[in-house]
Amino acid sequence: MQLKNVAQAKLPTPWGEFTIVGFEELATGKDHVAMVFGDITKQQSVLTRVHSECLTGDALFSLRCDCGFQLEAALKHIAQAGSGILLYHRQEGRNIGLLNKIRAYALQDTGLDTVQANHQLGFAADERDFTICADMLTLLDVKVIRLLTNNPEKIRVLEQAGIKITERVPLEVGENPNNEHYLQTKAEKMGHLLHLHAINNDYD
């Protein structure tokens, strides 16, 4: 177990009242949170989203990615379902950190894709550790989930860590002219399960 549960409180949101649960990594002191909606103890398979921190998308409304759109859609989906969990996994920029993510953005502005930019900076395409999310679920006493994701790697790692996934629930939102290449790279180079549509000009 890499984490301990340290605090929880009510968290009202536009989609209803969640309970926010704070976790601390034992080795590093880094923190992560879970947002729990409704009574998850009554669900045989809990609707769950693993959402990796993205300050630019989640808080600063960036259109370079689909992260902020996915965060809002997941919270809405969980609330509409009546119960569920969103794990906010604080590994910014696929765990290269905020400043390196900005450096990667600058490289993407010169024509590199997101994978090439990470490699140029000396990182793997994805540096995240999803076993931390399995530990959060275990501390919440959740072993069986329906996972809101387009990323098969999350499924593989969580199942390998002992979490049973009964269903993958797609979460395809936020496609726009600014993130078209980013989403294509996720599908073609990282294996994300996306059905990309013709880009419209709603965000021009």
**Catalytic residue ranges:** 126, 128
Residues 6+ apart with CB under 8 A from 96: 104, 118, 121, 123, 127
- What does the alpha-carbon distance between residue 71 and residue 119 come to, in Å, rounded to a whole number? 27
- What does the alpha-carbon distance between residue 116 and residue 107 come to, in Å, rounded to a whole number? 9
SS3 124: coil
| Conformation bin of residue 148: beta by default, left when phi > 0, alpha when psi is -120 to 50 | beta
Q: Give the CB-side neighbour count of residue 199, counting CA atoms within 13 A.
A: 14
* Largest distance between two CA atoms of the chain: 51
